[in-house]
Amino acid sequence: MSLVEVENVSFGYSRQRTVLQDVSFNIKAGASVGLVGESGSGKTTLLRLLLGLARPNVGSIRFDGALVDPADRRFMRAYRRNVQAVFQDPYSSLDPRQRIESIVAEPLRSLRIPGNRRAMVQAALAAVGLEPNILRRYPHEFSGGQRQRIAIARAIVPKPKLLLADEAVSALDLSTKVRIVELLKELASGMTLVFVSHDLGVVAALCDEIVILEHGRIVEAGPTRKILDHPQHDYTKALLASVPRMPGRADSQG
């Protein structure tokens, strides 16, 4: 069954410029979908629409069959509990003046989720591979990779059905990136993941489906292996050909 249905969505920040043009795709419950595109492709705008931060000019987005309507406050409260986000830069996405406990508990407070908040925060920290004894510490005491783990803990603490990650590993060093991709992969086995990225290698390692965007249109979508091995659209082919590859592969051009 589809968890998210995006139907004929068009969107522009002003009337003159359309950022998304007739975008349609479905996300199956439990899938990991990579939204891939270069700057200006509309991938971040699409994510904003999925988050309910803006409403499509044309078309609709449905979640679990219900229309996502940013003006419907009751719906949005339930929606926020089900849909959480992780952003690119863990230095600007964590409030430097709040302790880790307060940061991770934020969705529990603002969504008024009842229960033992400290226990929920500790469970989320354990799930992202952090020690429970960091509750009283501040973001600046942590490395970039650890901060991204904290941001992920904050996103999963209300137990969302859908996790949206916007270039969530792009600002990380290579060795850290590998570990955060492993973590996301592990978490994705228990929820639905939409991973926005320009990095095809990371998407290939993490996602089982890919949607490729160019200038606000979907040019190609489907299972990751199929798209990587048999790209149909010229833009997909050009994108794949542009990815620098490691030397020493059998079919490397050298």
Q: Which residues bind other proteins (CB under 8 A)?
A: 38-39, 144, 173-175, 177-178, 198-202, 204-205, 225, 228-229, 231, 238-249, 251, 253
Please give the Cα distance from 34 to 36 (Å, whole number): 6
Q: Which is nearer to other proteins, 61 or 200 (CB)?
A: 200
Pick from 15, 95, 25, 106: which is nearest to 59 by CA? Answer: 25
- CA quadruple 175, 176, 180, 186: dihedral positive or negative? positive
Rg of the chain over CA atoms, in angstroms?
19
Q: Which is nearer to other proteins, 3 or 212 (CB)?
A: 212
Q: How far is the CB of 129 from other proteins (least distance, A)?
A: 17
User: Length of the chain, please?
Assistant: 254
Q: Which is nearer to other proteins, 113 or 240 (CB)?
A: 240
* Alpha-carbon distances, residue 194 vs 16, 52, 59, 191 (angstroms): 29, 14, 20, 10
Nearest 5°: the CA angle 142, 129, 198 is 75
Q: How far is the CB of 113 from other proteins (least distance, A)?
A: 36
What's the DSSP call for residue 200? H
Q: How far is the CB of 239 from other proteins (least distance, A)?
A: 6
Roughly how many angstroms between the first and final C-alpha of the chain, as a whole number?
A: 45
Q: Which residues pair with residue 66 across a beta bridge?
A: 63
Contacts of 2 (CB under 8 A, 6+ apart): 26, 27, 28, 29
Which of helix, strand or coil describes residue 207? coil
Q: How far is the CB of 65 from other proteins (least distance, A)?
A: 33
Residue 29: count other Cβ atoms within 10 Å of its Cβ: 13
Q: How far is the CB of 229 from other proteins (least distance, A)?
A: 6
Q: Which is nearer to other proteins, 4 or 151 (CB)?
A: 151
Q: Which is nearer to other proteins, 72 or 208 (CB)?
A: 208
Q: Which is nearer to other proteins, 109 or 245 (CB)?
A: 245
Q: How far is the CB of 174 from other proteins (least distance, A)?
A: 5
What's the DSSP call for residue 210? E
Residue 221: count other Cβ atoms within 10 Å of its Cβ: 20
Q: How far is the CB of 250 from other proteins (least distance, A)?
A: 8
Q: Which is nearer to other proteins, 30 or 201 (CB)?
A: 201
